[in-house]
Amino acid sequence: MAEDIKTKLERYKTAPFDSRFPNQNQTKNCWQNYLDFHRCEKAMAAKGADAAPCQWYYRVYKSICPTAWVTTWDEYREEGTFPGKI
């Protein structure tokens, strides 16, 4: 399984099609992958496991989300005012 994830990450170019978000507007896809990445990191840290599988969400949101949004959300998380549930 870990090898499969590593192989996918090596071949990664941009976010693949996600059937949960079939429309042209990818705002929700961006938001969901941002949340999934931080939830995954939190869960892996709690287990004491390697967070390598979380890199998939990181790469997807980095390729879809505008940098200004990510910067703002990161600031909100640091301040403790982030509106999402992580």
- For every residue of 9-72, DSSP letters joined together read HHH--SPPP-TT--SS--HHHHHHHHHHHHHHHHHHHHHT---GGGHHHHHHHHHHS-HHHHHH
- For every residue of 29-41, DSSP letters joined together read HHHHHHHHHHHHH
Residue 8 has pLDDT above 70, yes or no: no
Residue 2 has pLDDT above 60, yes or no: no
Residue 1 has pLDDT above 60, yes or no: no
Percentage of the chain exceeding pLDDT 90: 64
Look up the pTM and report it.
0.82
Question: CA–CA separation, 48 vs 60, rounded Å?
Answer: 24
* Predicted confidence (pLDDT) per residue in 46-81, tens digit: 999 998 889 999 999 999 999 999 999 999 999 999
